[in-house]
Structure 1
Amino acid sequence: MNLKSLHSVHFLGIGGIGMSALARWFNHIGVKVSGYDRTPSPLTAELEKEGMEISYVDKMETVPGTVLQDKANTLIVWTPAMPKDSVQLDYFRDNCFHLKKRAEVLGLITSGMPTIAVAGTHGKTTTSSMIAHLLKSGGKNIAAFLGGLTQNYNNNLILHDEEGGEATVVVEADEFDRSFLHLHPNVAVLTSADPDHLDIYGDDSKMMDGFRAFIALLPEKGQLYIHYKAFEKLGLSGGNPWKTTIYGKDKGEVRAENIKAFPGTFHFDYVGQSQRINGLELRMPGFHNVENALAAISISLDFGLTASEIQKGLSSYKGVKRRFEIWIQEEDRVFIDDYAHHPEEIRAFLGSVKAMYPDKKLTAVFQPHLFTRTRDFAKGFSESLSLADEVILLEIYPARELPIAGVTASMLLEGITSPQKSLKTKEELLDYLKQCKIEVLVTIGAGDIDRLVEPIANWMKQHENQI
């Protein structure tokens, strides 16, 4: 399929962060873009401003006529997160439209370009955006399809210079539904290999098989950067046709030394196989983000960036929306928002926050994401959340799932050992916080908890004397 010859592309789930990046790419090359999503959001509002036609009702009457009248030159892009009973998805399937998953389309776009693909249960959005920023700030011609909105570019799509010679693509490789197996990486990064998406894979061993299959996509003389825990988890060994570099905060051929946590920033030294870079500053805090930076720095060195270019690029990297995003940082109050939705992500996030503010009370508001994930990792969620001094749970965000009997946010409460813990509705949360002494507040989750972030930040800013 020649994607550039298409007349129309219609996206089912256009408001998703990965889907919207593809929508923007097609819109950029002059294809008519439309789509459906369940609810409006700031991101869909931006897409509409950019000229895309979006509806929020799953009926065929809302689909533009150009999509329905020119089947031969129309592509339907869908995400597996769409409900199985979607009216539009069923229609396009039953009427034999060109129907492809987001990952398939991304694979087609990147198949003819050198590609850096970043996979892993956690860290792939930050690592891929960090790689893209370091290379771009170092003068390399890159394009990037990212799973989050970068603070530097306020976008999830970075376009390459068509006149700048061969471009390299940086892409986030999503393990959900085995989507990353459609990609064609020359360089692969595996940040982590913890179990997740067991509703798709069935069990941990099948998911590990998926990661091994992703790595096997590398060509001869390809390059793999892999976190040491993932390397051990997958039971990898030598004898592969690609080069493997193992990295980690304190273990591996590439590691970090002299890590120091400060409010709003981490400092560390990069120690590689043939080069050391001292005095690096990362303004997206977190021990886990230091590890993400190790992979990004190693790839930047492979692409010919100098130590000074890397230092400059890293210090100017502002991070990704909803990844350790600091909204308020004052002497008497701090508010941070994070997308963490897996026990290991929460453990890494809260551990880093405590290192930054060791003498302050840490209050965590968490919205579980998916009934299956809450059920499968309930014990891990309770243990990781117990790092906070107070935990406030919101009800589970279902996303694509129907409720499961007996699976609720309250099932996590018993295992949480924090001195204070409670369950609140989204409507109750702000009123409850107004009664509390807030020192360090964090909001955590991948659902619609993001809609509460700005109201909380506005309240904290406006009522500083009452807190």
Structure 2
Amino acid sequence: MIPEAPHHIHLVACCGTAMGSLAGMLKARGYHVTGSDQHVYPPMSTQLEAWGIPIYEGFDPAHLDPRPDLVVVGNVVTRDNAEAAATRELGIPAMSFPQALAHFFIQNRQGVVVTGTHGKSTTTALIAWVLAHAECDPNVFVGAVMRNFDSTFRLGDGPHMVIEGDEYDSAYFDKGPKFLHYRPRTAVLTSMEFDHADIYRDFEHVRSAFVRFLGIMPAEGYLVACADHYQVREVIANNPVASAVQTYGIEPGADWRAETYTSSPEGTELTVSYQNQPYGQFRAPLYGPHNIQNVLATIAVAHHLGLTPAQIASGLATYAHIKRRLEVRGTVGEVTVIDDFAHHPTAVQVTLEGVRQAYPGQRIWAVFEPRTATSRRNVFQQDYIQALQGADYVILSDIHRKESLAPSERLSPEAIVEALRHHIVGADFYAGTSGIIDQLCRDTRPGDVVIVMSNGGFDNIHERLLTALAER
């Protein structure tokens, strides 16, 4: 039973991007917020401190004294966590992160939910900015820092709540996907592939989660789906959707289509048609086929929500990309260092394709850290060999926290290197980042592009590399 007017809300495991952002949102709405986590670390720890939110180190029932009115439990928290157990024993009302986000921030707003294996953060941020730029004053939640807002969230008074809809599970007491809580009125389905191997058995298990999402779309809703992905076309065709459905894509046949496009490091210019009729010309500071799809989804959603082509074009032109998505960290000695979040093999492949389009004729170095629950496992061993062939030279690090996986489950970076060499792609493996930096300083030349792909800090390799390049 959730109290009608909670005052004190405590978040267990609050230093992740999602939980930390929720803490900030609740604080901004006037609630007294506290939190706890293990290994409290920047940047979220410093952000929480700046917001005036006290954070306890570790998990202890004493952190529930004074007794909060409500506890929000992160999805990394297990049932036997000391604070989770104490919450049950004391009878304190508890919610998962997505339940709390829906309860406190969606309410009667129209949910604009972006789902899919790839492109969620970028598409959510694009839609959010286009609406905000058009003075629609949306509420926003994204699992990455949006440069336009310098935050992972935005609180507004408009009718829309724009949310990145994650298919990951919600909490130990709520194993369903997060996006089932988000009350979609308008939705985007970008793609569907096997991912999150720690919670999904196989692709059919992943597919079932998206089928459940399609099933909660209302009759008055609107779904826009990427026609370039076979699995998306298939799931739409074979599962009833109450909402109106339109498609977008680069390939022929989509309702919303990029008829032509040209890319450079500064971005992409594209000509868009709607149901085979000219719609408009647009420019966005993004490149790569995956980002063209993200822009098309944004145009379709913004049009549905009542914006004119001129309003959409103005928003796209002034968009500042989210951090860690093809983010140029610096150029030293004419060597450009780019940071990207890509970790799934499809994301790695399309990211490299995008870099190749934007930097034609330049030598591309791909530096990859297997860090996610999926990429650390050998389920995509062969797929990474194919994906990484888009680079001229590949460097792999050891898998993150490999001791937590049985040897039979682990990805083998060394085997990927050997396979790439067989395919006449230069490749090396290093157990630590120092060896990677040494090779890049020794072997890169002016005009080269180094793209570092990891969903984590990767031992601060970006800044260390830029410093080392400046000193060579």
TM-score using structure 1 length: 0.90
Q: Number of aligned pairs?
A: 452
Q: Is the 8 A contact 2:113 2:187 kept in 1?
A: yes
Once the two structures are superposed, what CA deviation does each residue of 1:179-207 show, in whole Å capped at 9, x if it has no partner? Answer: 11122100111111111123312121121
The answer to whether residue 161 in structure 2 is matched with residue 169 in structure 1 is: yes
Query: 1:244-393 residue pairs with structure 2 within 5 A?
Result: 244-251=245-252, 252-273=254-275, 276-328=278-330, 332-373=334-375, 374-393=377-396
The answer to whether residue 461 in structure 2 is matched with residue 452 in structure 1 is: yes
CA distance in 1, matches of 2:87, 2:438: 46
* Corresponding residue for residue 426 of structure 1: 433
* Corresponding residue for residue 418 of structure 2: 414
Letter in 1 for 2:444: K
RMSD: 2.4
Q: Structure 1 residue 285: deviation in Å?
A: 2.1
Q: What SS does the corresponding residue of 1:117 show, helix, strand or coil?
A: strand
Check 1:4–1:30 CA distance in 2 against 1; reply closer, same or farther (3 A cut): farther
* Corresponding residue for residue 205 of structure 1: 204
Once the two structures are superposed, what CA deviation does each residue of 1:412-432 show, in whole Å capped at 9, x if it has no partner? Answer: 333334223222313443333
Q: Structure 1 residue 95: deviation in Å?
A: 4.0
The answer to whether residue 149 in structure 2 is matched with residue 149 in structure 1 is: no
Q: Structure 1 residue 243: deviation in Å?
A: 0.3
CA distance in 1, matches of 2:331, 2:121: 24
* Corresponding residue for residue 15 of structure 1: 15
Q: Structure 1 residue 362: deviation in Å?
A: 0.9
Q: Is the 8 A contact 2:9 2:34 kept in 1?
A: yes
CA distance in 1, matches of 2:42, 2:461: 13
Q: Structure 1 residue 268: deviation in Å?
A: 0.9
* Corresponding residue for residue 173 of structure 2: none
Q: Is the 8 A contact 1:126 1:319 kept in 2?
A: yes
Q: What SS does the corresponding residue of 2:233 show, helix, strand or coil?
A: helix
CA distance in 2, matches of 1:217, 1:451: 42
CA distance in 1, matches of 2:80, 2:415: 29
* Corresponding residue for residue 116 of structure 2: 120
List alignment gaps of at least 5 residues for structure 1: none
Check 1:92–1:431 CA distance in 2 against 1; reply closer, same or farther (3 A cut): farther
Q: Is the 8 A contact 1:341 1:445 kept in 2?
A: yes
CA distance in 2, matches of 1:5, 1:455: 48
Letter in 2 for 1:384: A
Q: Is the 8 A contact 1:335 1:457 kept in 2?
A: yes
CA distance in 2, matches of 1:341, 1:367: 8
CA distance in 1, matches of 2:71, 2:79: 16
Q: What SS does the corresponding residue of 1:455 show, helix, strand or coil?
A: helix
Q: Structure 1 residue 97: deviation in Å?
A: 2.9
Check 1:77–1:454 CA distance in 2 against 1; reply closer, same or farther (3 A cut): farther
Check 1:385–1:339 CA distance in 2 against 1; reply closer, same or farther (3 A cut): same
Letter in 2 for 1:261: S
Letter in 2 for 1:206: H
TM-score using structure 2 length: 0.89
Letter in 2 for 1:414: E
CA distance in 2, matches of 1:388, 1:240: 40
* Corresponding residue for residue 184 of structure 1: 183
CA distance in 2, matches of 1:455, 1:55: 31
CA distance in 2, matches of 1:440, 1:85: 47
Q: Is the 8 A contact 2:398 2:432 kept in 1?
A: yes
Letter in 1 for 2:320: K
Letter in 2 for 1:127: T
Q: Structure 1 residue 394: deviation in Å?
A: 1.7
List alignment gaps of at least 5 residues for structure 2: 170-176
Query: 1:34-183 residue pairs with structure 2 within 5 A?
Result: 34-37=34-37, 38-60=39-61, 63=63, 67-71=64-68, 73=69, 75-82=70-77, 86-109=81-104, 110-161=106-157, 166-177=158-169, 178-183=177-182
